[in-house]
C-alpha cells in the first residue's frame, strides 16, 4: 500500500464508490462477503488498493495545504512542479490554535513578534507522496483562502 488505509468512517462514506470498485474487479456483493469470511488477506488487499485509488484522486485535486500549530502556521500552494511555502512564526504572544490567538495574529500581522518566511521546494519523483507526507504530519487540505490572503499581504 502506498498511502494509508481509509478509516471505517471513510469507507462508510464511500460505500457506493467501493461497490463500483468491487464491480470493476468483477466481485459481486455475495463474493465480497465470501472473500471477507474465507480469504481475509485478499479482502485486505482490495481495501488497500481502493484506499490508494481514493488517496491518488484526492492528492491530484489538492491545491493547498495548511498546518497550524501553537506558534507556527505553514501554508502550502501545491503548484505543478513545486510547493510554495508561506511560514508565519509568532514569538510569545499567542497560541494560534485558539480563536483568541488567531484573532491576535489577524490584528497584529505587522507586530515585531510575527515573522514571515517564504520558500520554494521542488517535488521529489513522487509529487503525491510529498503531499501525503505533509498530511500525515498534520497538514489539512484547504481551498487556499489563508494562503492567498497572506501571499498578497507579503508580496
Domains identified in the chain, total number: 2
Is residue 48 domain-shared with residue 92, that is, in the same domain? Answer: no
Which grid coordinates belong to 112? 515585531
Q: Is residue 72 part of a domain?
A: yes
Q: How many Cα atoms within 13 Å fall on the side-chain side of residue 13?
A: 7
Which grid coordinates belong to 141? 487540505
Q: What are phi and psi of 143, to 5 degrees?
A: -85, -10
Is residue 70 domain-shared with residue 40, that is, in the same domain? Answer: no
Is residue 50 domain-shared with residue 69, that is, in the same domain? Answer: no
**Local confidence pLDDT in tens for the 155 residues of the chain:** 999 999 999 999 999 999 999 999 999 999 999 999 999 999 999 999 999 999 999 999 999 999 999 999 999 999 999 999 999 999 876 899 999 999 999 898 888 999 999 999 999 999 999 999 999 999 999 999 999 999 999 88
State how far the alpha carbon of 116 is from the alpha carbons of 6, 7, 53, 59, 152, in Å.
Answer: 35, 36, 36, 27, 13
Amino acid at each position: 500500500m502506498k498511502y494509508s488505509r481509509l478509516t471505517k468512517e471513510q469507507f462508510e462514506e464511500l460505500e457506493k464508490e467501493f461497490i463500483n470498485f468491487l464491480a470493476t474487479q468483477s466481485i459481486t456483493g455475495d463474493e465480497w462477503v465470501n472473500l471477507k469470511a474465507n480469504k481475509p488477506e485478499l479482502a485486505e488487499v482490495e481495501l488497500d488498493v481502493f484506499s490508494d485509488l481514493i488517496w491518488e484522486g484526492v492528492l491530484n485535486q489538492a491545491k493547498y495545504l495548511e498546518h497550524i500549530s501553537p506558534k507556527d502556521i505553514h501554508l502550502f500552494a501545491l503548484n505543478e512542479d513545486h510547493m510554495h511555502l508561506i511560514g508565519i512564526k509568532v514569538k510569545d504572544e499567542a497560541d494560534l490554535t485558539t480563536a483568541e490567538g488567531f484573532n491576535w495574529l489577524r490584528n497584529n500581522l505587522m507586530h515585531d513578534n510575527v515573522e514571515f518566511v517564504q520558500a520554494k521546494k521542488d517535488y521529489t519523483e513522487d509529487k503525491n507522496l510529498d503531499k501525503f507526507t505533509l498530511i500525515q504530519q498534520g497538514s489539512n487540505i484547504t481551498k487556499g483562502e489563508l494562503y492567498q490572503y497572506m501571499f498578497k499581504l507579503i508580496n
